[in-house]
Structure 1
Amino acid sequence: MEKVWAVYYSATGNTDRTVNTVAGELAANLGLPLEQVSFTKPAEREKEYSFTGKDLVVVGTPTYAGKMPNKLLPDFQTKLHGNGALAVAVVTFGNRNYDNSLAELCGVLEGDGFHTVAAGAFVGCHAFTDELAYGRPGWSDEFEMKAFAKRIADKVKTLTDAPAPVQVPGDPDAPYYVPKGVDGQPAKFLKAKPKTNLSKCTNCGACARLCPMGAIDPENVANVPGTCIKCQRCIRKCTKGAKYFDDEAFLSHVKMLEQNFREPKENEVFL
């Protein structure tokens, strides 16, 4: 091994923190340099990365509807080339369930020429609401991330050949989770887009610059002509609190989550 990499898509920051905590601890334990690669903004996903058998790559993504974000999946499939590199698959989830996202990410990495040596699913505050897993990842989660990294480092040190793919629960070909409202019926908010409170907005343009899909018009941030994936980055990053969703189906789904998924979930790791 010559280098540890942290590669991540992170709209609200949870995956960034998780992946870099694991990768940073790995680098420290292995005595290797660390390089960070954000895969979040459109321009950041234009470059292709070719790794080698001398690299250990921690790749992370949040869970959207029980799987990897579907609009970003093609970038993970075509821009990262393993060429025999070892990989650690990491997903985050907002206290409901990671369902099939970890299995899907492992499958993508193995299909891209990586050898998955470990995998983990970690809880983070839900993007939609602070009522679910507020404050996570916290210090105890970080402790678990570092312990996970130390176990990976120990495993890597003993390898004499490419490892068998890490085994994780889930089906990478399973359908997406169907969000439901408080009435128990499917909540259809695919076309919902963030609104702007013009009395609060200063038109600073941060939301347009940070949008992972480039969906917001930088000349008029109240206009969202592009595809919105409901990642909540514009909501979370607006320092004036000017962005919000008012779609009834979306809000009903959020309320359902708050009513049914308050019980703290545990992180899960696989080696």
Structure 2
Amino acid sequence: MSAYVYHFSPAGTTKRIASVLGFALDADAQMIDLADPATLGGEHPVSAPTGKPEDSDIAVFAVPVFAGRVPQPAAAMISRIRGNGMRAASVVVYGNRDFDDALVELNDILARQGFSVIASGAFIARHSMLPAVAAGRPDTEDCGDAEAFAERIAEKLASAAERGVSTPIDIPGNRPYKESPAAAWTPSVTDDCTLCGICAINCPVQAIPHDAPNTTGQTCFQCMRCASACPEGARVLPAPVAAMISEKLAPIATVRKPNQVWV
């Protein structure tokens, strides 16, 4: 089996789930970072193998959930990758609220690109904006769930290779998808900013000018990668936004929601 793992993980938690899943499927799995500015800006991202893939090959796509949807930059990147009939597993990772229509949307994108989705999963990770929500996840138990998911995928792949067909999966979600809210804010920059530019280097959509890293442009999609990357902790949620999200998510902040898979 050869596994190709495509992950869009601004805050790093989606990548952790994707890595555990990918390496459980194939110790030599190829990891492709769709949130890397170099990948995002390239004309041709690393793609699935050309020609007809082997029946035992698998592509794994893992994205975070933003307001119940696939982040637009992630959708744009995946829409540049051709599946050539390759079987795929789709994974969405969310911060304890709900994944809404993100999984259906991801599977629709993959189908349009010529992938055959044989398994899907929805996993929990700490909230990218409020780390106190689902704090510490994914943890050891979550990683164990990802490994068990990989085992079921491998079994289905083996069965499909033997019979030449794959049984479809039925996942929750709606079409049309829920409306994506417009980006109404960008991260605040505190006086601790040293203008080092690390945030600009790491921004997936180059929303932070390299010559003015204490500002943020309109292409920001609120992934908070800049906050994760800043060595000074100088990029933060605007206080009113933090208060609003904290109040909204308070009832579920410490609830341990289960991961879900469909194979």
The alignment-based identity, stated in percent, is 29
Separation in 2 of the partners of 1:83 and 1:109? 11
Q: Which runs of 4+ in 1 moved over 4 A?
A: none
- Hey, what's the Cα distance between the residues in 1 that align with 2:13 and 2:74? 17
Cα offset, 1:247, TM superposition = 5.6
Whether 2:231 is the aligned partner of 1:242: answer no
Matched, 1:134 2:135: yes
Give distance in 1, aligned partners of 2:248 and 2:203. 24
CA distance in 2, matches of 1:117, 1:94: 24
- Partners of 1:245 and 1:9 in 2: CA distance: 21
Q: CA RMSD in A?
A: 1.7
Aligned equivalents of 2:200, 2:186: Cα separation in 1? 13
Deviations 1:47-87 (A, max 9, x none): 2424342231000100000010124322222x111101010
Contact 1:125–1:134, Cα closer than 8 Å, also in 2: yes
Deviations 1:170-198 (A, max 9, x none): 124221366xxxxxxxxxx7231122223
Partner of 2:247: 256
Gaps of 5+ in 2: none
Give 1:164 deviation, angstroms.
Answer: 3.7
Give secondary structure in 1 for the equivalent of 2:67. coil
Question: 1:94 maps to what in 2?
Answer: 95
Aligned residues: 253
Q: Is the 8 A contact 1:104 1:173 kept in 2?
A: no
Q: 1:42 to 1:102 in 2, by over 3 A?
A: same
Match of residue 10 from structure 1: 9
Are the equivalent residues in 1 in contact too, given 2:59–2:87 (CA < 8 A)?
A: yes
Which residues in structure 2 correspond to 1:193-208 (within 5 Å)? 193-198=186-191, 200-208=192-200
Compute the TM-score of the two structures, normalised by the length of structure 2. Answer: 0.90
Deviation at 1:244, TM superposition (A): 1.5
- Supply the distance in 2 between the matched residues of 1:108 and 1:165 (Cα, whole angstroms): 16
Distance, in Å, in 1 between the alignment partners of 2:58 and 2:175 is 23
What does residue range 89-128 of structure 1 map to in structure 2 within 5 Å? 89-128=90-129
- Correspondence for 1:175 among 168, 175, 178: 178
Q: Is the 8 A contact 1:87 1:114 kept in 2?
A: yes
Query: d(CA) in 2 for partners of 1:209 and 1:101?
Result: 28
